Every structure is written in structure tokens, then in C-alpha cells.
């Protein structure tokens, strides 16, 4: 028997009956078709499945879809719809582009969402704080330097926009 949930994902409301054991990552990918949320390790070690739940980064492979009932969820597909994006690319998306923060792209959605969560809490993070915030997200391609530079880029852009 399923459980009825209602969530707001990327600004849209969804109501679905789900298996009580369905992980949020599978709900997003299989029920809603939002495949930007990647499935990596399914043990919370890699961070490829990171999304924002009520503005905070959460690894969606560690959360049941029923636990998200009533929540506001942002996936990588919704970054450009966030207010700080101003209708275009989100500053973190621009940062990854400008600072070459991606190669294969598998970790990129989770990295971006973890970074957005950090920048909402701390608009002026130090290099060490960025590395600490991204610590739970693994990248096997870039060596992280370009990713950190992308977050620094986004932080500068967001601060300049608020002035």
C-alpha cells in the first residue's frame, strides 16, 4: 500500500502515491523524471545525489520520499529558477563554466547544490570553508581546485549583486 505525498520541486507542486520505502533520489528520477540528481554510491559517501530540501543540502539517497512530504525541493534542473539566478544561469552554474569546475559532470549537480547551500549560510566563505562544505561530495576528475574556484566565483557574483 502506498503513501500519499505532496512536494514542491523546482517551484512546481506534485502529489503522488509512493511506496513507503522509496528513496527520494528514486522518486525524483523515476517518478518525476528529474535525472539531473545522480545515483552514485547509494550509501551517502559520494554526494552525487545532493539536492536542497527547504534550502539545505541533503543527500537524497539517505532520505525516503515520504520524509520529504510538504518540503520544498530544489534539484539541479531548478537552479536557474532560484531568485538569485535572476532568470538566467545561477551564479554557481556560471562559476562552474567560467572556472572549468567540471569534466565528466557526474558529480556536478551535487557539488553545485552543496555549494548553493553553503553560500546561503555563508556568503563569504574562505577557501577552507568551501572545501569543508564540499567534503561529502566526491569528484574523480578535477582535483577540486577548479570546483573551489567556481564556488569563490559564485560567492563574489552573489555579493556584488546584493550591493
Q: What CATH number is given to the structural domain containing 57? A: 3.10.20.30
Same domain flag for 56 and 86: no
The tens digit of pLDDT for each residue in 64-118 reads: 999 999 999 999 999 999 999 998 999 999 999 999 998 899 999 999 999 999 9
Is the model's pTM score more than 0.85? yes
**What is the distance between the alpha carbons of residues 90 and 105, in angstroms, rounded to a whole number?**
17
Same domain flag for 57 and 90: no
What is the domain range of residue 138? 82-162
Q: Which grid cell is 15?
A: 502529489
**What is the distance between the alpha carbons of residues 109 and 20, in angstroms, rounded to a whole number?**
26
The tens digit of pLDDT for each residue in 25-36 reads: 999 999 999 999
Same domain flag for 87 and 140: yes
Same domain flag for 92 and 154: yes
What's the residue count for the chain?
163
DSSP state of 163: -
Same domain flag for 141 and 96: yes
**What is the distance between the alpha carbons of residues 77 and 21, in angstroms, rounded to a whole number?**
25
DSSP state of 64: B
Amino acid at each position: 500500500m502506498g503513501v500519499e505525498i505532496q512536494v514542491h520541486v523546482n517551484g512546481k507542486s506534485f502529489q503522488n502515491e509512493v511506496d513507503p520505502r522509496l528513496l527520494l533520489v528514486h522518486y525524483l528520477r523515476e517518478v518525476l523524471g528529474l535525472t539531473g540528481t545522480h545515483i552514485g554510491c547509494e550509501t551517502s559517501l559520494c554526494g552525487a545525489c545532493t539536492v536542497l530540501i527547504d534550502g539545505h543540502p541533503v543527500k537524497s539517497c539517505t532520505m525516503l520520499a515520504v520524509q520529504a512530504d510538504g518540503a520544498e525541493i530544489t534539484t539541479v534542473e531548478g537552479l536557474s529558477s532560484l531568485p538569485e539566478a535572476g532568470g538566467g544561469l545561477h551564479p554557481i552554474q556560471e562559476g562552474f563554466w567560467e572556472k572549468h569546475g567540471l569534466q565528466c559532470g557526474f558529480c556536478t549537480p551535487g557539488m553545485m547544490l552543496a555549494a548553493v547551500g553553503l553560500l546561503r549560510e555563508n556568503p563569504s566563505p574562505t577557501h577552507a570553508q568551501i572545501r569543508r562544505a564540499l567534503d561529502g561530495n566526491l569528484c574523480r576528475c578535477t582535483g577540486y581546485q577548479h570546483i573551489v574556484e567556481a564556488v569563490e566565483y559564485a560567492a563574489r557574483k552573489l555579493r556584488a549583486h546584493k550591493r
